[in-house]
Structure formats: structure tokens, C-alpha cells
Structure 1
Amino acid sequence: MKKLFLIFIVIPIIGCQTNQKPDKETVLKIINDDLNFPRTIDYEIFCSDPAHAKKLLDLKLDEKRMVTIQKTQKLKDIGSPMISFTKVAQPYLIKPTEKEKRLDIQKVKIAEETISDIKLGNSSEYIGKTSIPVTYTVTCTNITPFSVLMKRDLSKPITRSGTLLFIDGKWKLMKP
């Protein structure tokens, strides 16, 4: 009789508690795990490409002493890197893969994206599944001098939204 009593009391309590609206810390962990936050924004620079060299010159990254650009090349040097990075740029360089080395590609850090704010909407039930609308703010931090390569204003936060669904006893983020 005791076992039967425990089954009727404990199981409904456990079932109700797991379907409760999650707190902001739990939602932050779900978003960070599912969308890989915090994450680094990077940019590929093709060191042998004259168009990339021109872009870096136009953005005056050579004057900021981030890069050195070979402005002219001899015929025998065509295809060799025109762009090299200074000691000042070293903290912002991402170690290249073997393929990137062969292709003279250097990735540079632009900034880091993090979640700075979360707002949970009211939960609703649809076809037996509980859903909660989520709005979160993505903020860029550790903005580097290479951020001028991006057309986006990284100082302004971006608001995104998604939906949390309670499926198989767990909250899951439905990606926007």
C-alpha cells in the first residue's frame, strides 16, 4: 500500500516540477550550449589576394601598424603573400589550419559574441507540448582593431528570439 501511495504522490510531483518554466540561468545555459556562445567572430584574409591588400590599405590597417602590405610585386612573386602581420596584430590572429597555410589564408579575431540579456515570455501549450518564447540580446565584447573589416556596427547589441519546447522531459531551444 505504501508503494502504491508513493507512486501516486511522487510521480505527479516530479512530472509537474520538470515542466515548470525554467529560470534565466537555465535558459542561458541552454542557449549557450545550443548556439555555441560565447563565440568568436572571425574574418578570413587572403594574404596573396590584391583585392584583400587593397581593402586593408583602404581601411588604413597598415597605418595602424597591424599589417605590412607589399604594394608592388615582381612577376616572379605573383601568387606569394602580399600581406604580413606585425607583432601588434599577433594577439588577434587565429592559428591557421594546414589548408589555410597552403592557401595563404589568415583568420583574424574581430570580437566575441556573448548573451547579455534574456527575457522569457508566457508559456503556452500546443499539441501536448509546452513552449516558451525567448528573446535574448547578443552583445559584442573584446572588439579588436580588425573590426573595421566588418560592415556591421559591433557596438550595437542585436536582439534575437527563439522558442523553448519541453520535449522528452527536457527544455530544448528551437533555433530561429
Structure 2
Amino acid sequence: MKTLSIIVLALFLVSCSSKNLTRGKAAELIQPKYPRNIDWPIFTTDPKDVIKFLPTKLEEEGYVIIKEKIVEGGWRRPYIFFTDKSKSYLLETPEYDRSSGIQRVKVAEQYFSEITGVRMVKDGQKAIVEYSVINKNVTPFAQVSALKIVPTENCKAYFALYDDGWRLIDKFDPDFKGE
């Protein structure tokens, strides 16, 4: 009888603790999103983007060719051309964007690092998880983006408890009242 009581107590404790989101479970659900590319759109037909390239050495180093002469009424004519040297930084860009003169380029790579905190909210049914990522392999195109690439970044992920366990959710979920 004593053994049965211990087993029942152990099962009760395990079932209760499974409702808490652990750091391990949060990491397991976040990690599949990484590594990922940090990208930036280059507007090849926009003279304003040409101006961003001029103070850099991207043309001198052979990543791009800049057509500096801006032709009046030349909208939709490309001014920025990517060379073979830049091919490894060019990312897949939707056809609609390409037809508008937009090319997405890799600026850096982002890797999951660690869970730094788990905060349970809304009666244990929701959670906010803070974690850090590491930015590596910064590309030459980072200098024309408006992004400030730092070595380590802090991020947040939002979770909800469903009948089958914890799931990542969009922080703009109207049911999320965590902050």
C-alpha cells in the first residue's frame, strides 16, 4: 500500500510539473528557428540606395557595380548590379520584389544561444521566455543596411499551454495578455 501511495504521489507531481514551461522545453521549441539569416533589401533602382553604397568599398572590392549617372525618368532602371563575388550573399527574393528592383542580401547569421528567463503569466497558461542569440558571419553588405549588428542580442518568445503541451505563439495574439 505504501508503494502504491508513492507511485500515485510521483505521478501527481509529474503531471503537475508538466504544466510549467521549463527552460529545456522552451529551448527545444525555439531552437528549430535557428540558425537563420539576417537579411536586408537592396533597392537596385532607387538612387537613394545608390547613395548608401558610394561611401563604402563594396564596388572597389568587387561586390557590386554602381551606375552612378542617374538618368531623369530612369525609375525602374537598375543602378546597382551584383557581381559573381556577391553571389554567396544574395538571398532568394520573391518574383514581385525582383520585378520591382529589390534584391535581398544576407547581412549576418543568427544562432540560438541560451534561455535566460521564463516568466509564467495568466494563471500558468501563458509564458514569456527571454533568450539570447549570437550574431556571426557579418557580411560586407551590413554596412549599407540600417541594422546595428551586435555580437549578442536578447529576444523574447511567447508561449501558450494547449491540451497537447506548450506551443510558440505570435506575441500579437489577441488572447495574449502577458505584458
TM interval, short-chain normalised:
0.7 to 0.9
- Is structure 2 residue 19 aligned with structure 1 residue 22? no
Deviation for aligned residue 1:19: 2.7
Task: Find the aligned partners of 2:161 and 2:91 in 1 and give their Cα distance.
Answer: 38
Task: Find the aligned partners of 2:70 and 2:121 in 1 and give their Cα distance.
Answer: 66
Task: Find the aligned partners of 2:31 and 2:131 in 1 and give their Cα distance.
Answer: 11
Match of 2:136 among 135, 141, 149: 141
Match of 2:84 in 1: 87
For this pair of structures, how many residues does the alignment match?
165
Question: Which secondary structure state, in structure 2, belongs to the residue aligned with residue 30 of structure 1?
Answer: helix
Match of 1:101 among 86, 98, 101: 98
Deviation for aligned residue 1:22: 2.8
Note if contact 2:23-2:115 (Cα within 8 Å) is conserved in structure 1.
no
Q: Deviations over 1:60-81 (max 9, x none)?
A: 3212211100111556865311
Task: Find the aligned partners of 2:78 and 2:20 in 1 and give their Cα distance.
Answer: 57
1:68-79 correspondence runs (5 A) = 68-73=65-70, 79=76
Question: Which secondary structure state, in structure 1, belongs to the residue aligned with residue 54 of structure 2?
Answer: helix
Q: Deviations over 1:114-146 (max 9, x none)?
A: 21121245x76853x266653211221222111
Uncovered stretches (5+) of structure 2, i.e. residues with no partner: 172-179
Task: Find the aligned partners of 1:118 and 1:136 in 2 and give their Cα distance.
Answer: 4
Match of 1:52 among 43, 49, 53: 49
Task: Find the aligned partners of 1:48 and 1:11 in 2 and give their Cα distance.
Answer: 64
Question: Which secondary structure state, in structure 2, belongs to the residue aligned with residue 58 of structure 1?
Answer: coil
Task: Find the aligned partners of 2:51 and 2:150 in 1 and give their Cα distance.
Answer: 25
Note if contact 2:135-2:150 (Cα within 8 Å) is conserved in structure 1.
yes
CA change 1:21–1:82 in 2 (3 A) is closer
Deviation for aligned residue 1:84: 0.4
Deviation for aligned residue 1:49: 1.1
Task: Find the aligned partners of 2:84 and 2:152 in 1 and give their Cα distance.
Answer: 31
Task: Find the aligned partners of 2:35 and 2:135 in 1 and give their Cα distance.
Answer: 10
Deviation for aligned residue 1:47: 1.0
- Equivalent AA in structure 1 for residue 80 of structure 2: I
Moved over 6 A (4+): none
The normalised TM-score by structure 2 is 0.72
Which protein has the bigger helix share? 1
- Equivalent AA in structure 2 for residue 63 of structure 1: E
Note if contact 1:43-1:107 (Cα within 8 Å) is conserved in structure 2.
yes
- Is structure 2 residue 112 aligned with structure 1 residue 115? yes
- Equivalent AA in structure 2 for residue 138 of structure 1: V
Deviation for aligned residue 1:174: 5.7
CA RMSD of aligned residues (A): 3.2
